[in-house]
C-alpha cells in the first residue's frame, strides 16, 4: 500500500497542467494546491492526499468528464462535498439534482445552478492536483484496493464507511445536508407550520472522559448543527422552524436533568437573560462567533428554544 501511495504522491500534477487522462481503470487521488482550504483552521500539506476514488472504466470518464465537469455535481460526491464547503465563499446556489429525485422525495442529493457549477469547476481546476494509478483488474479487486488505500491514507474528503475515523466527516456531512435542505426546500408546509424539519444532526462525539467538567461543553454540539441552524435562520419568516438534536450527545457531556432553554437575539444581540443556562450561553457564543450568521440576525428578533424532546425551535418574533 505504501508503494502505491508514494506513487500517487510522486505523480501528482496540478489539474491545469494535465495534458492526457488515462483510458484505463484504476485509482485516482486529489491534492490541494491552493492557499485557503474551505474547512476552518485546516490547510492540507503539499503532498497530502485529500480524496481517493476509483474508476472501473477510465480516468478520463471519471475525473475529466465527471468530477471536473460543470453540471456533474449530482453524480460526483467530491463536487458535492467541495461545493457545500464553498457555498458561501463562492455564492453557490443548490438546486434539486433532477425532477425524478424531487418527485420521489429523494432529497439528500443536489447539484448547483449553471452559474454555480461553472464557479465550482473553476475553483477545482485552480486549486486541485490529480494523480492516477492504473489498475486494470475486475471491479471487486479495484474496490478492494481503494478500500485499503483509504484506510492507509485517511483522506479528509472521504466521508463514507471506508474512512470511519475521519475527524472532518461531521463538518462536511453537515454542510452537504444544509445544501440538500436548501436545494429541496425542506421546511414545514404552510398548513402544518409547527411541524419540525425532518432532519437529524450527525452526532457529536467527545474524546474526553471528563467532559462534564469541561468549559463550553455544549459548543461542539451546536457547531455540528450550525449549517442547519443557518439554513433555518435564512428560511424562518412567520413560521416556526425546528431542528432535531440528539439527546445522546447532550447526555454524554452532562449529567444534568434538564437541557431546555430560551435564547433571544434582537438585531444580532442577545436580548434576554441567559445567565442561568449554560446551554443557552454556549449556543449564543457559537452564533456570535460566526460573523455571517450575526449579519443575518441583524434587523430580526429571533427566539431559540430547546424543549424536553431536544428539538431546537427557531421562531421569528
DSSP track, 97-164: S-HHHHHHT--S--EE-HHHHHHHHHHHHHHEEEEEEE--S-HHHHHHHHHHHHHHH--TT--STTST
The residue among 76, 74, 69 whose CA lies nearest residue 55 is 76
d(CA 246, CA 243): 10
Cross-strand partners of 306: 261, 312
Total-model pTM: 0.60
- Tell me, what's the pLDDT at 20? 95
Q: Supply the pLDDT for residue 206.
A: 36
Q: Which among 204, 217, 218, 196 has a CA at the least distance from the CA of 248? A: 204
How far apart (Å, rounded) are the C-alpha atoms in residues 177 and 1?
33
Looking at the chain, which runs of residues are DSSP E strands?
A: 13-14, 26-32, 49-55, 94-95, 111-112, 128-134, 240-244, 261-266, 269-270, 301-306, 311-316
User: What pLDDT is stored for residue 89 in this prediction?
Assistant: 94
| pLDDT for residue 102 | 64
Q: Which residues of the chain have pLDDT under 50?
A: 187-214
CA dist 245 and 222 (Å) reads 9
Residue 76 cell numbers, joined: 460526483
Report the alpha-carbon distance of residue 296 to residue 293 in Å, rounded.
Answer: 5
Tens digit of each residue's pLDDT (9 = 90 or more) over 158-210 = 999 999 999 999 999 999 999 988 887 654 343 444 444 444 443 443 333 33
Amino acid at each position: 500500500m505504501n508503494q502505491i501511495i508514494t506513487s500517487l504522491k510522486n505523480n501528482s500534477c496540478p489539474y491545469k497542467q494535465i495534458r492526457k487522462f488515462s483510458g484505463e481503470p484504476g485509482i485516482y487521488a486529489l491534492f490541494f494546491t491552493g492557499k485557503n482550504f474551505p474547512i476552518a483552521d485546516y490547510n492540507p500539506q503539499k503532498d497530502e492526499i485529500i480524496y481517493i476514488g476509483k474508476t472501473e472504466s477510465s480516468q478520463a470518464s471519471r475525473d475529466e468528464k465527471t468530477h471536473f465537469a460543470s453540471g456533474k455535481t449530482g453524480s460526483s460526491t467530491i463536487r458535492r462535498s467541495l461545493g457545500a464547503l464553498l457555498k458561501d465563499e463562492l455564492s453557490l446556489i443548490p438546486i434539486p439534482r433532477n425532477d425524478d429525485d424531487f418527485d420521489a422525495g429523494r432529497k439528500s442529493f443536489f447539484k448547483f445552478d449553471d452559474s454555480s457549477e461553472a464557479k465550482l469547476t473553476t475553483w477545482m481546476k485552480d486549486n486541485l492536483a490529480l494523480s492516477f494509478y492504473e489498475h486494470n483488474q475486475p471491479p471487486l479487486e479495484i474496490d478492494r484496493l481503494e478500500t485499503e488505500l483509504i484506510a492507509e491514507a485517511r483522506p479528509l474528503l472521504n466521508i463514507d464507511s471506508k474512512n470511519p475515523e475521519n475527524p472532518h466527516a461531521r463538518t462536511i456531512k453537515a454542510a452537504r445536508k444544509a445544501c440538500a435542505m436548501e436545494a429541496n426546500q425542506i421546511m414545514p408546509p404552510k398548513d402544518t407550520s409547527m411541524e419540525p424539519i425532518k432532519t437529524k444532526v450527525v452526532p457529536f462525539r467527545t474524546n474526553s472522559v471528563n467532559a462534564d467538567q469541561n468549559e463550553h461543553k455544549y459548543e461542539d454540539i451546536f457547531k455540528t448543527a450550525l449549517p442547519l441552524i443557518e439554513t433555518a435562520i435564512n428560511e424562518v419568516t412567520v413560521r416556526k422552524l425546528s431542528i432535531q438534536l440528539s439527546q445522546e450527545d447532550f447526555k454524554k457531556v452532562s449529567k444534568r436533568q434538564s437541557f431546555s432553554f430560551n435564547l433571544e437575539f434582537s438585531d444580532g444581540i442577545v436580548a434576554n437573560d441567559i445567565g442561568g443556562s449554560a446551554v443557552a450561553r454556549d449556543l449564543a457564543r457559537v452564533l456570535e462567533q460566526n460573523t455571517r450568521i450575526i449579519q443575518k440576525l441583524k434587523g430580526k428578533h429571533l427566539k431559540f428554544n430547546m424543549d424536553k424532546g431536544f428539538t431546537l425551535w427557531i421562531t421569528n418574533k
